[in-house]
């Protein structure tokens, strides 16, 4: 076991230089070798046919890769990683362009993993690491010979449904793994491909979707004329919901790519800038809202089935916030960008105030709500949403520790969804939507409620499960989302990378290390399952796919983050300077 000193978050909040913005110094904008620069759009799917290769036919590529792995011929081109003890979170977040910037880039198809083979690594290479890389490479999807993403799952024992597609959200951990391993080209290809798909007309029946909508997923279809790409914007998805998260993940990934490589030429391309503006114009559009949160349909994100998350789900609000912050760094003022930058700034302030104030829950806040008066009218109302205290579910009184807190699932008129949602809370830490005190309290909650939120297999996607009549009403009697299964209280190994990133940002990597140990005890033996069922996540999920790519990639990202925490800067941002702390009272959990 390694002794890790806490990284000081405060260091990163106030003292970090405002180093990542459009007025970046030359050094930050330095270009990568010429291979990187000539971004031509020759990847159009209507071009000349080429041999059709997809993941199933990647054997050549994989064999090449395996040969290299077996020879052990790849040593890291980078200097050995720094131990966590010597890294300040300031370094992780802002000061380092990237550990990979300026590296000779490697191809995603035929190179060996660096992880696990690092000379002088303080970490014993776990055998699962090499296995994970092997599986991750098998999941590559090629379009006209170029890798453009990874397939959701490579499980031949189950009906593929849409698991044979490249999902935008699923690709994020894969992309981060490749970036951390010095292989940015697949990420660039993916970003450009998704941009192309965004430009297509999107219709469901007689209705045309917003121009900025990004696909939930796409598949490469081989034909006699060559490969074509078929996207799904929600028109084929179960429930027909458009993925609100895809556009946000795309922007977040664009920044990760830029931060990791130091290469701004991709983000600066007029088409990419336009793609960003299109996404922003949907989510910053004026409407009837009285709040800065983004109003959503049920099932519009990782939880893509009816689960009662309609309204203002924390997952989307946290991604929205992080994506706005990333766009602020990447957007150029030209062509209307300036106006968007102004709108972003205003929205960021309003959104952070709103979420920090009204979504935050801890022992003290719960007690306040428990004593709420109702039917208050006028500006002076304390119970602004007219939440009836009787609507507070029983479980939350027992669940709430004296030390710890979290952002609840949803807030809307007379409705607070007190459920815990892992992804939204972790992203709120990474984007600094949470105040430093709130960040620490969320990590406290993980520790205080370990068996509920981590259990035997990390991590609970949501807690607790809906049961009985509530399950019937809220999910529409969904047989896939029965209690403690799938989205309804199931456990998802992919969430490990988010926990790891959050625990490094808050200076508590030991939390991630404990969770990783649990994953290493089972995940590979269980065939890299998609999710686990049961209160403690003990059972491989009823309908869980095996060789689920994001379970594999999530594990790799966690390992690489712990090995070299400077990678954190790709997906985390220091506190947004202008957002004032909300007027929330400090709870016992923050001072304890
Ligand atoms: C399931 C998940 C969704 C994921 C997809 C592919 O539908 O709910 O979040 O993107 O599978 O893995």
Which residues of the chain are modeled with pLDDT < 70? Answer: 1-19, 21-124, 576-592
Distance 193 CA to ligand 1 centre (A): 20
Q: What is the structure's pLDDT at 160?
A: 81
Q: What is the structure's pLDDT at 22?
A: 58
Which atom of ligand 1 has the smallest separation from the CA of 302?
9
Distance 574 CA to ligand 1 centre (A): 29
Which atom of ligand 1 has the smallest separation from the CA of 305?
8
Distance 312 CA to ligand 1 centre (A): 20
- Ligand 1: which residue has its CA nearest to atom 11? 163
Q: What is the structure's pLDDT at 122?
A: 52
Torsion, CA 390, CA 392, CA 396, CA 397, rounded to 10? -30
Binding pocket residue ranges, ligand 1, CB within 6 Å: 152, 163, 167, 169-170, 302, 304
Q: What is the structure's pLDDT at 124?
A: 63
Q: What DSSP line would sit under 331-370, residue for residue? A: --STTTHHHHHHHHHHHHHHHHHHIIIIIEEEHHHHHHHH
- Ligand 1: which residue has its CA nearest to atom 2? 302
Q: What is the structure's pLDDT at 584?
A: 44
Best residue among 164, 167, 217, 485 to mutate for probing ligand 1, ranked by most atoms within 8 Å of CB: 167
Which atom of ligand 1 has the smallest separation from the CA of 167?
10
Instruction: Determine the Cα–Cα distance for residues 231 and 45; give it in Å rounded to an integer.
Output: 12
CA distances from 166 to 99, 161, 174, 194, 242 (A): 27, 12, 11, 10, 16
Distance 470 CA to ligand 1 centre (A): 23
Distance 548 CA to ligand 1 centre (A): 10
Best residue among 153, 154, 170 to mutate for probing ligand 1, ranked by most atoms within 8 Å of CB: 170
Distance 248 CA to ligand 1 centre (A): 16
Q: Which residues contact 335 (CB under 8 A, 6 or more apart)?
A: 270, 273, 274, 277
Return phi, psi of residue 417, to 5°: -95, 105
Which atom of ligand 1 has the smallest separation from the CA of 487?
8
Which atom of ligand 1 has the smallest separation from the CA of 153?
12
Q: What is the structure's pLDDT at 586?
A: 39
- Ligand 1: which residue has its CA nearest to atom 7? 304
Distance 43 CA to ligand 1 centre (A): 26
Number of H helices, E strands in the chain: 22, 13
Distance 52 CA to ligand 1 centre (A): 25
Asked if residue 226 lies in contact with residue 52, where contact means CB atoms within 8 angstroms, the answer is: yes
Which atom of ligand 1 has the smallest separation from the CA of 170?
10
Q: What is the structure's pLDDT at 577?
A: 63
Q: Which of 330, 320, 196, 165 is nearest to 246 (CA)?
A: 320
Distance 80 CA to ligand 1 centre (A): 36
- Ligand 1: which residue has its CA nearest to atom 12? 152
Q: What is the structure's pLDDT at 119?
A: 38
pTM value?
0.84
Best residue among 169, 246, 305, 531 to mutate for probing ligand 1, ranked by most atoms within 8 Å of CB: 169
Q: What is the structure's pLDDT at 572?
A: 98
Distance 301 CA to ligand 1 centre (A): 9
Which atom of ligand 1 has the smallest separation from the CA of 545?
12
Q: Which of 249, 217, 252 is nearest to 233 (CA)?
A: 217
Distance 437 CA to ligand 1 centre (A): 32
Which atom of ligand 1 has the smallest separation from the CA of 303?
8
């Amino acid at each position: 076991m390694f002794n890790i000193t806490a990284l000081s978050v405060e260091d990163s909040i106030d003292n970090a230089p405002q180093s990542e913005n459009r007025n970046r110094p030359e050094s930050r904008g330095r270009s990568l070798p010429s291979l990187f620069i000539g971004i031509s759009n020759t990847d159009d799917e209507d071009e000349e046919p080429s041999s059709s290769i997809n993941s199933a036919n990647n054997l050549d590529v994989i064999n090449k890769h395996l040969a290299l792995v077996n020879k052990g011929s790849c040593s890291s081109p980078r200097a050995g990683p720094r131990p966590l003890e010597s890294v300040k979170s300031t370094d992780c977040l802002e000061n380092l362009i990237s550990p990979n910037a300026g590296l000779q880039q490697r191809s995603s198809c035929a190179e060996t993993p660096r992880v696990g083979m690092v000379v002088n690594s303080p970490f014993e290479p776990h055998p699962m690491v090499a296995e994970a890389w092997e599986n991750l490479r098998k999941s590559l999807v090629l379009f006209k010979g170029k890798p453009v993403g990874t397939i959701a799952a490579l499980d031949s024992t189950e009906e593929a449904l849409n698991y044979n597609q490249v999902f935008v959200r699923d690709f994020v951990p894969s992309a981060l793994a490749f970036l951390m391993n010095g292989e940015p080209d697949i990420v660039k290809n993916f970003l450009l491909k998704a941009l192309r798909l965004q430009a297509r007309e999107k219709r469901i029946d007689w209705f045309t979707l917003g121009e900025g909508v990004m696909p939930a997923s796409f598949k490469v279809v081989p034909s006699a004329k060559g490969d074509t790409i078929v996207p799904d914007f929600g028109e084929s998805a179960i429930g027909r919901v458009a993925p609100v998260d895809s556009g946000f993940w795309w922007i977040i990934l664009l920044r990760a790519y830029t931060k990791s490589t130091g290469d701004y030429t991709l983000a600066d391309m007029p088409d990419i800038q336009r793609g960003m503006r299109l996404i922003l114009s949907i989510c910053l559009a004026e409407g009837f809202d009285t709040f800065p949160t983004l109003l959503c349909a049920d099932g519009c994100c990782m939880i893509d089935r009816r689960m009662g998350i309609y309204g203002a789900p924390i997952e989307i609000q946290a991604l929205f916030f992080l994506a706005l912050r990333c766009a602020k760094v990447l957007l150029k003022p030209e062509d209307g960008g300036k106006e968007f930058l102004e709108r972003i700034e205003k929205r960021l302030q309003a959104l952070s105030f709103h979420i920090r104030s009204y979504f935050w829950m801890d022992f003290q806040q719960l007690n306040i709500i428990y004593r709420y008066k109702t039917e208050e009218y006028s500006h002076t109302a304390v119970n602004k949403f007219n939440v009836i205290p009787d609507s507070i579910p029983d479980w939350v009184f027992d669940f709430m520790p004296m030390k710890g807190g979290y952002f609840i699932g949803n807030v809307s008129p007379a409705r607070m969804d007190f459920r815990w949602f892992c992804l939204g809370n972790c992203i709120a830490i990474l984007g600094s939507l949470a105040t430093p005190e709130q960040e620490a309290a969320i990590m406290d909650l993980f520790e205080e409620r370990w068996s509920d939120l981590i259990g035997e297999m990390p991590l609970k996607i949501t807690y607790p499960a809906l049961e009985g009549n509530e399950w019937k009403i809220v999910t529409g009697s969904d047989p896939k989302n029965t209690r403690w299964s799938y989205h309804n209280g199931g456990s998802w190994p992919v969430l490990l990378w988010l926990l790891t990133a959050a625990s490094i940002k808050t200076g508590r990597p030991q939390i991630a290390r404990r969770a990783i140990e649990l994953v290493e005890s089972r995940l590979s033996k269980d065939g890299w399952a998609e999710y686990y069922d049961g209160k403690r996540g003990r059972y491989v999920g009823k309908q869980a796919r095996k060789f689920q790519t994001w379970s594999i990639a999530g594990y790799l990202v966690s390992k690489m983050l712990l090995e070299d925490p400077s990678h954190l800067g790709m997906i985390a941002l220091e506190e947004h300077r202008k957002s004032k702390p909300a007027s929330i009272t400090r709870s016992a959990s923050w001072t304890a």
